[in-house]
Amino acid sequence: MDGLIRNITFHAGINFIVDETPPLEILATGNNVGKTTVLQLIDFCLGASAKGIYTDPENKRNEDLKVKNYLIDKEVLITLTLTSDLESPFAEELVIERNFLPRKKQIRRINGEHLTEDAFEERLTNQLFLNHYGKKPTFRQLISHNIRYKDQSVNNTLKTLDSFTRDEEYEALYLFLLGCSFDDGDSKQTVLSQIRIETAFKNRLESKQTRSAYEASLSLLEGEIQRLDAQRSSLNTNPNLEDDLKALDKVRYEISVSGSKLSRLNLRRNLIQEAVQEVQSSTANIDIEQLKSLYSEVSAKLGKLNRKFSELVEFHNKMVNEKTRYIKKELPQLEAQIIEFSARLDQLRTTERELTKKLATSGSFEELEKIVVKLNEKHQKKGEYEIIIEQITAVEKNLKNLNEKLEGIDVLIFSDKFQAQVQERVNLFNKYFSEVSRELYGEEYALKFDIGITRTGQRVYKFSAFNTNFSSGKKQGEITCFDIAYTFFADNEKIPCYHFLLSDKKELMHDNQLVNIATLVERECKHVQFVASILRDKLPPALNKDEYFCIRLSQSDKLFRIEQHTS
């Protein structure tokens, strides 16, 4: 170990991470000194992956081996200290420690306690949002607007999650952030999960053709089978041979039907088991005794609580268990059917071998054999088509029932009363949003919502910000206004939130905008830390002062100081 590499102190108000490299030198070196990495390290301590610190964001396969090896070989430890009050030396603190080593050497601690990955996320979640672990939106989703260094969050005001995030996840996120709650939120997520399972199963069944196409093909097959049966009858002069061939046709048809049925039963069982694992992963396994002191402290501050902490945890886990039981209720019947069809298939194959052996010695004609081969192929296809049609029909029935159940939930969520509640919260937030944007830009930004339709046909709340300005600087300003306004809103509505805002690429903003932000933060946000990375030569004179800097970097003094420690 080489001792302390950096000690960065963040104060209330503006905190600039400054790159002091001269402009001409930046062009020559590529400006890679670690400004963004400071933000990434804070995010890392809050549960982000370590790979982002030494991986190219545009190409995940490209790693900066120099940085990666340094972090591992030197056993670099990152420590982040969060405080409940910036001004009080006696305020409650949360000390988070993480390193980059694998397995047993890995450090993941909170206030000195080693934690597993799940327990780490649980502790962070419940520290900010009591009893929220295992629910949606997740902790990482809830703090996504506080930490903006990835392109998605740097360039979008509300779309702060990855590009694969579903509309219903954004719906849950912003309803939660606005303080809009509804009792059927978990039920809706369960039903939507089941709808996705059934839809995925239906898509697999119809990967080649739709049900109507299978029905049309089945009708044609039945006609071809009748024609081949007529040809075979005209060629056969042996009554016993005819009976044996019919028996073989029947057995092979039943083998095809049973095999297809068994395959789809196994597929459905696997999909249900995957869904069960997904639901069970959200169970809250909380050490009641360990958090007893925290619960007591909350009770002391807020007064006597209506429910014990253990009762809340037990209630949540019962909800998860009930979801699991509901999804698993079909499994016993599926297992019984799988056993039944497996045994039936073995019996049919034994019969097929006996008939095939018998017919091999019957001396059939060559042309008759060709017809029999064709008939076998047609019967096999017929069996496959009938099973697929049966499965598609069952899935469509299930989807209809699930969508009816979802519609029942949506009657409440999209009722006039609930929409009015959402609109009331949006209007309240917009008072802060418009005031902040008016002061910074002389314009008024606002949040709005519409009721849209997802790709799978479900109704969903879609939130967006008014924005008629498409320049990079103005977009950066809209994002900053939103983040500051939300902090005001959350504090006044007693909604838990972090009071630090981390932003990258602030050199895209105009000088006047930066000065206005600094003025607003210094005057109105004494408890807020606005942390931004920026090139020093892009700073306006009014902000180019040591009192606003939390760290200075340059080509000769990069963040990790690898050159100094390895020379």
pLDDT of residue 30: 47
- Is 472 within the bounds of a domain? no
Give the rounded distance of the alpha carbon of 450 from its chain centre.
Answer: 22
**What is the phi/psi pair of residue 451, to 5°?**
-100, 110
Domains in the chain: how many in total? 2
Residues 91 and 216 in one domain: no
Cα–Cα distance for residue pair 401/230, rounded to 1 Å: 44
Residues 504 and 407 in one domain: no
- Is 553 within the bounds of a domain? yes
Residues 98 and 227 in one domain: no
Cα–Cα distance for residue pair 159/165, rounded to 1 Å: 9
Last residue of a domain, one of 365, 394, 412: 412
Cα–Cα distance for residue pair 118/103, rounded to 1 Å: 15
Strands 108-110 and 93-99: antiparallel
Give the rounded distance of the alpha carbon of 60 from its chain centre.
Answer: 19
Two tokens, residue 26: 């930046």
pLDDT of residue 181: 72
pLDDT of residue 266: 86
Structural domain boundaries, residue 121: 13-129+496-566
Residues 94 and 213 in one domain: no
Last residue of a domain, one of 412, 441, 466: 412
pLDDT tens by residue, the chain, 567 residues: 468 999 999 998 899 999 998 876 655 454 689 999 999 999 999 999 999 899 877 677 788 899 999 999 999 999 999 999 888 888 999 999 999 999 899 999 999 999 999 999 999 999 999 989 988 889 999 999 999 999 899 889 999 999 888 888 899 899 999 998 766 666 777 788 888 888 888 888 888 888 889 889 889 989 988 988 887 776 654 556 677 778 888 888 888 888 888 888 888 888 888 887 877 676 555 555 555 666 666 666 666 655 665 666 666 667 767 777 777 787 888 888 888 888 888 888 888 888 877 766 554 556 777 888 888 888 888 888 898 899 999 999 999 999 888 888 888 888 899 999 999 999 999 999 999 988 888 788 999 999 998 877 888 999 999 764 544 456 777 898 999 999 999 999 999 999 999 998 776 677 777 888 888 887 776 688 999 999 898 888 989 999 999 999 999 899 999 887 665
Cα–Cα distance for residue pair 201/268, rounded to 1 Å: 7
pLDDT of residue 313: 64
Contact 450, 527 (CB under 8 A): no
Cα–Cα distance for residue pair 518/547, rounded to 1 Å: 12
Residues 267 and 387 in one domain: yes
Residues near 446 by beta carbon (within 8 Å), at least 6 away in sequence = 430, 433, 434, 465, 466
Residues 229 and 377 in one domain: yes
Cα–Cα distance for residue pair 20/551, rounded to 1 Å: 10
- Is 434 within the bounds of a domain? no
Beta bridge partners of 109: 97, 114
Residues 119 and 203 in one domain: no
Residues 275 and 391 in one domain: yes
Cα–Cα distance for residue pair 449/207, rounded to 1 Å: 36
- Is 462 within the bounds of a domain? no
Contact 84, 92 (CB under 8 A): yes
Residues 229 and 339 in one domain: yes
Residues 202 and 122 in one domain: no
Residues 221 and 364 in one domain: yes
Cα–Cα distance for residue pair 32/168, rounded to 1 Å: 38
**What is the phi/psi pair of residue 449, to 5°?**
-135, 150
H helix or E strand, kind and range, residue 144: none
Give the rounded distance of the alpha carbon of 445 from its chain centre.
Answer: 29
Beta bridge partners of 15: 531
C-alpha dihedral sign at 48, 50, 51, 55: positive
- Is 549 within the bounds of a domain? yes
Strands 55-56 and 500-503: unpaired
The SS3 assignment for 506 reads: helix
Cα–Cα distances in Å, from 373 out to 226, 248, 367, 378, 387? 14, 11, 10, 9, 22
- Is 377 within the bounds of a domain? yes
- Is 280 within the bounds of a domain? yes
Q: Quote the pTM value.
A: 0.69
Residues 360 and 507 in one domain: no
Contact 43, 147 (CB under 8 A): yes
Two tokens, residue 539: 């700073």
- Is 478 within the bounds of a domain? no
Last residue of a domain, one of 412, 431, 452: 412
C-alpha dihedral sign at 72, 73, 75, 76: negative
Cα–Cα distance for residue pair 383/257, rounded to 1 Å: 5
Beta-strand ranges (E) seen in 406-548 are 447-453, 459-465, 500-503, 529-535
Number of residues that this document lists for the chain: 567
Q: What is the pLDDT of residues 71-116, one digit of tens each?
A: 999 999 999 999 998 888 889 999 999 999 998 999 999 999 999 9
- Closest to 273 in 3D by CA, of 327, 320, 339: 327
Cα–Cα distance for residue pair 22/20, rounded to 1 Å: 6
C-alpha dihedral sign at 188, 193, 199, 205: negative
Residue indicated by tokens 């390193």: 99
Two tokens, residue 388: 């697929």
pLDDT of residue 468: 45
